Structure formats: C-alpha cells, structure tokens
Amino acid sequence: MSHTPEYEKLLAELNAGELPIIVRNILDALLQAPKGLTRKGLIRIVFGEEPDNNLSNDTRDRKIRKGIEHLRNLGFPIVSTSGKAGYRLDTDPKNIECMIREWESRIVQLQQRVDAAQHYHDLFTRIFPYEVK
C-alpha cells in the first residue's frame, strides 16, 4: 500500500526515535488522568501545543494514535469506545471486554467487505478472463 509523502515523513520521524518519547508521554499522561483524555487533550500534553480544529489534518494526532496502537500492541489496557471520545488506562475486565467486543465487530464488518470484494473479483475474472493483467 502506498502512502502520501506526508505520511512517509511522519513514519520516518517515528522510526528515527520519536515513537518511544511519544509513547512514554502518552503513558504518563494517561496515568495522571484516570477518567481519560481526548485526542486533543493528549496533543496538548504530549506536544505542549494547541491541536488543530480538524484533527484529520494534524500529524500530531496521527502520532498520538500510532503511540496508542504501539502501547496496545504491548498489552497495555488502553480503552476507548465509539460511544465516548478519548482514551484511558482501564484494568476493569468489563470495560476491556466491551472494547474487545467492539474490535471483534469491526473484524466481522471488514471480513464482509473483503468477501464482497473477492466475490466481485472472482466474478469479473470469470466474465472477462483476458482483461485481468
């Protein structure tokens, strides 16, 4: 999958040593905020700067999300749900179970998309066998 030049730059910055610093700052911030923090709140704390109004164009937000992903992959119970904005460290098994169920439902939905695309691909190659290169 190809990335935009901006995203490639962001990944290079993270790989050049920025990720461990961001991860540590996220973890420290979440430890100090038991009720959790929004993405904008994390940008304020981790980067010491005011976030953009439109987070989709804010590379600091992407770095925060990469840091959260990294912590989760290490097994930290960072809970978030679609129903409430933000992240929090949460060791309550019920809340972790709720997050797991939400992720599992996303897997099911994504698998349905994959199956539909595969069906289209298979149908197209049967109808037009010489068109696929």
pLDDT 10s digits, 66-104: 999 999 999 899 988 666 678 999 888 998 898 889 889
Phi and psi dihedrals of 66, rounded to 5?
-65, -40
The residue ranking higher by pLDDT, 18 or 3, is 18
- pTM, two decimals, is 0.74
Q: How far apart are CA 19 and CA 34, in angstroms?
A: 23
User: Which CATH code is given to the segment(s) 1-90?
Assistant: 1.10.10
Q: Token digits for 34?
A: 């038991």
CA 92 to chain centre: 21
- Domain segments of the chain: what residues? 1-90, 92-133
> Contact 102/81 with Cβ under 8 angstroms?
yes
Mean pLDDT of 36-65: 90
Mean pLDDT of 48-75: 90
CA 114 to chain centre: 20
The residue ranking higher by pLDDT, 83 or 10, is 10
